[in-house]
Amino acid sequence: MSYHFFVQSDIVFGKGSAGELPGIIKSHGLKNVMMIYDEGVKAAGIAEKVLEQVEKADVKIIIFDKVLPNPSNELVEEAAVLAKEAGVDGFVAVGGGSSIDLAKAVNVLMTNPGTIGQYGGIGNVKNPVLPLVAIPTTAGTSSEITNVVALTDTQAVCKYVIIDNKITPTNVIADPEFTRTMPASVTAATGMDAITHAVESYISNMANPLTEYNSLKGLQVLYKNLPKAVKDGSDMEAREQMMLGCIIAGYGFSNANLGLVHGIAHTLSAHFHLAHGMANATILPYVMEFNAKSCPEKMVELAKAIDLPVTGNMEEDQYLLAKELKKLAEDIGIRTLSEQGIEEKDLDMLADDVLKEPVLNFNPRNNITKEQILDILHKAF
């Protein structure tokens, strides 16, 4: 049997790696570069540091700093108009998944006609895109190395994805110094997002030996270092390891896809604008509990990977991971759905919409019912 495993980005990793940005820009022969980031990155002083490096490349710089969480089609179109008017020939995206995803989406429209919504799904981007340098400031989404963009359709009130190898960032600068100022709550939520990527991709029905290796290794690195990074944001060894684990897990999930956790999280974000990482973190333990009977051996392998005390009794051991993830979420301050403003009356509507999520096709337990989703939502409530 043959397996496909896609890896593309040229990665510069480690403290001080941002200093290589001018050379990267020059290597692409860029003249008009759009920098994309949000207000948080600007307030933390990170945008200014990156801008200093871009200026060394002697290029014209166009700024788009209006990025919002769960970026919408309208925001993509707005940025694309500005980029086209300025004759942009390359991008530098600085921030978390929202900034990098927005840049990837705008990049699609620079060389492909129409509106961004028409590119939803797998393999619908026809033309190659422009150079894009991704500089993550969180350790969670893995957007810097994946072929995936997650956007919000405000008219349909849903999140959808564009999956295409062409949209993967050309270069990545993974400098853990840029995660130093990330608040503990964001560190926790984005870190749990990365752990979700690791475990969901490992049990995905699209997983193969190449993806499984990355998913397991990513989980090990993330599980060991997340509590340290949340407890002490200046622990740069833990910060660097979190960034490393995020990239490793990203290779796994971008090839194996995800499952029910993300299906629920996408719906929560679309309707209530929950931060993606926090939505995943809240739901994760209960979906792992739900999935356990469909892939008990893999659940035990995940438990063993992080040294949980297996007993040899499959009926018990298959739930060890779910229990540990619930404890981890509580220890690092992940909030329940009710604590995030969701009301019990909202759960029925949410369950209906989760059933429409394409990502459920990759979940190991299939034929999922509305009642089963409601049970998960109530447990997370």
pLDDT, tens digit, 9 for 90 and up, residues 3-38: 889 988 899 999 999 999 999 999 999 999 999 999
Q: CATH topology for 10-179?
A: Rossmann fold (3.40.50)
Alpha helices by DSSP H, 28-96: 39-43, 46-55, 73-85
pLDDT tens readout for residues 30-85:
999 999 999 999 999 999 999 999 999 999 999 999 999 999 999 999 999 999 99
pLDDT tens readout for residues 119-154:
999 999 999 999 999 999 999 999 999 999 999 999
**Overall average pLDDT of the 98-116 stretch:** 98
Q: Give the model's confidence band at 252: pLDDT under 50 very low, under 70 low, under 90 confident, else very high.
A: very high
Taking the CB of residue 127, how many other CB atoms lie within 10 A of it?
Answer: 10
Radius of gyration (C-alpha) of the chain in whole angstroms = 20
pLDDT of residue 1 exceeding 90: no
Q: CATH topology for 184-380?
A: Dehydroquinate synthase-like, alpha domain (1.20.1090)
Per-residue CA distances from 308 to 221, 320, 377 (Å): 15, 7, 26
Nearest to 230 by CA among 193, 274, 186: 186
Residues of the chain with CATH 3.40.50.1970: 10-179
Residues of the chain with CATH 1.20.1090.10: 184-380
